[in-house]
C-alpha cells in the first residue's frame, strides 16, 4: 500500500510535467515489467523474433515497431488491418495498412507496403497511397546487447492515386531493429530516419521515429502487445512538434498461420491522434519450388 500511495502522489506531477517525461516513464515501466517476467518459464509468443516453423506467423503489426525476424525463403505473409483516427481538432480519418512480406533468403525479406486511405476530395471516398519497398536483413542472432539485429532500408515512390493520399516525394529510409526474448516477453526496439525529396512544402525533408514494443502471452493463444513510440520534431515549411503515444491491445493466434489483433492508441505528447485498430496476419504459404520450401 505505501508504494501504491506513492504512485498516486506522483501521478499529478508526472502528467502535468514535461510530456516527454511521460513517454520515458511508460517505457521505463515496460522495461521493468519485462525484466521481471524474464525470470518466468519461456512460452512461445506470436511475436518471437525468429520463426520456429516457416508456416507460423511472425506479426509485425499492430505495433509501429518491427522485429528482426524474417519470413522463410520462398514464403509469403500478408498483414492487413484498419485504423480509425480522431485528431486533436476533432477530424476523423480511416486507413487500411497492408504489408506483403516475401522471404528472399534465409536472412532477407522483401516488404511491399501500401495503404488505402479515406480521401477528403470530392467524388472519391478511398484512395491508394504511395508504395514502399524495403528489404529487411537480419545481421546477427542473440548477440550481446543488441540481441537479434536487423536493418531495413526502404524506398517510397510517389504513386499515390490522389494528392491527398501521398506526399508526392521519393523517400529513402533506414530502420535499425534490435529484438530480444526476455523469458516469455518479446521486446523490439527500433530507431529510424527518413530522407525525402522535394522542396519541403508537402512534407518535411527529414523525419525520424523511435519505438519500444513488448509482446507477451496471457493464456494459451491469447496474448497482448504494449508499445511506446514517438516522432521527434521536424523542421521546414510544414514542420511539426514531436509526438509520443502508447499503443496497447490483445492478440489472438487463431491458427499457427493466422493471428488477429485489436487495440487502441492514446497520445502521450504532442498532437498525436487517438485511434482504434484491428487487423490480421496471414501466412500464405510457400510459392517457390518444393526444394526451396523444405530449406
pLDDT at 29 over 70: no
Give the pLDDT of residue 133. Answer: 98
Give the long-range contacts of residues 249-253, CB within 8 A, separation 24 or more. Answer: 249/62, 249/224, 249/225, 249/277, 250/218, 250/222, 250/223, 250/224, 251/46, 251/47, 251/59, 251/62, 251/215, 251/222, 251/223, 251/224, 251/225, 252/221, 252/222, 252/223, 253/46, 253/57, 253/221, 253/223
pLDDT at 74 over 90: yes
Cell 525525402 belongs to: 196
pLDDT at 21 over 70: no
How far, CA to CA in Å, does 263 sit from each of 16, 30, 142, 237?
Answer: 26, 17, 30, 34
Give the pLDDT of residue 294. Answer: 59
Q: How far apart are CA 223 and CA 145, in angstroms?
A: 26
pLDDT at 202 over 50: yes
Query: Cα–chain-centroid distance for residue 146?
Result: 18
Q: What percent of the chain has pLDDT over 90?
A: 69
How many CB atoms within 10 Å of residue 25? 16
pLDDT at 237 over 90: yes
Q: How far apart are CA 268 and CA 23, in angstroms?
A: 6
Query: By three-state DSSP, how is residue 256 classified?
Result: coil
Q: Are 202 and 169 in contact (CB under 8 A)?
A: yes
Q: How far apart are CA 207 and CA 195, in angstroms?
A: 7
Query: By three-state DSSP, how is residue 129 classified?
Result: coil
- pLDDT bracket for residue 214 (50, 70, 90): very high
pTM (2 d.p.):
0.82
Half-sphere exposure for 65 (CA within 13 Å, toward CB): 32
Pairing of strands 131-143, 108-118: antiparallel
Give the pLDDT of residue 15. Answer: 38
Digit-coded pLDDT (tens) for 89-116:
888 889 999 999 999 999 999 999 999 9
CB crowding 101-113: b at 16 or more within 10 Å, else e: bbbeeebbbbbeb
Give the pLDDT of residue 161. Answer: 83
Q: What are phi and psi of 38, to 5 degrees?
A: -65, -20
* Mean pLDDT on 23-35: 41
Amino acid at each position: 500500500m505505501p508504494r501504491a500511495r506513492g504512485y498516486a502522489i506522483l501521478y499529478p506531477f508526472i502528467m502535468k510535467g514535461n510530456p516527454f517525461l511521460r513517454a520515458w516513464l511508460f517505457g521505463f515501466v515496460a522495461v521493468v515489467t519485462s525484466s521481471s517476467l524474464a525470470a518466468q518459464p519461456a512460452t512461445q509468443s506470436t511475436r518471437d523474433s525468429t520463426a520456429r516453423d516457416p508456416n507460423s506467423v511472425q506479426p509485425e503489426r499492430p505495433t509501429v515497431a518491427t522485429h528482426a525476424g524474417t519470413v522463410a525463403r520462398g514464403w509469403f505473409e500478408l498483414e492487413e488491418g484498419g485504423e480509425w483516427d480522431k485528431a486533436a481538432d476533432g477530424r476523423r480519418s480511416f486507413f487500411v495498412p497492408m504489408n506483403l512480406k516475401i522471404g528472399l533468403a534465409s536472412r532477407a525479406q522483401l516488404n511491399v507496403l501500401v495503404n488505402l486511405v479515406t480521401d477528403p476530395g470530392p467524388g472519391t471516398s478511398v484512395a491508394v497511397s504511395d508504395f514502399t519497398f524495403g528489404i529487411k536483413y537480419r545481421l546477427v542472432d542473440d548477440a550481446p546487447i543488441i540481441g537479434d539485429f536487423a536493418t531495413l532500408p526502404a524506398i517510397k515512390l510517389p504513386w499515390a492515386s490522389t494528392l491527398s493520399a501521398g506526399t508526392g516525394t521519393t523517400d529513402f529510409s533506414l530502420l535499425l531493429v534490435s529484438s530480444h526474448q526476455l523469458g516469455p516477453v518479446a521486446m523490439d526496439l527500433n530507431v529510424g530516419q527518413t530522407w525525402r525529396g522535394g522542396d519541403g512544402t508537402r512534407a518535411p525533408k527529414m523525419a525520424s521515429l523511435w519505438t519500444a514494443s513488448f509482446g507477451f502471452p496471457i493464456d494459451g493463444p491469447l496474448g497482448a502487445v504494449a508499445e511506446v513510440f514517438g516522432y521527434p520534431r521536424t523542421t521546414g515549411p510544414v514542420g511539426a512538434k514531436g509526438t509520443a503515444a502508447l499503443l496497447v491491445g490483445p492478440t489472438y493466434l487463431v491458427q499457427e498461420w493466422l493471428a488477429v489483433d485489436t487495440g487502441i492508441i492514446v497520445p502521450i505528447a504532442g498532437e498525436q491522434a487517438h485511434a482504434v485498430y484491428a487487423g490480421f496476419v496471414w501466412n500464405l504459404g510457400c510459392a517457390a519450388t518444393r526444394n526451396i520450401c523444405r530449406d
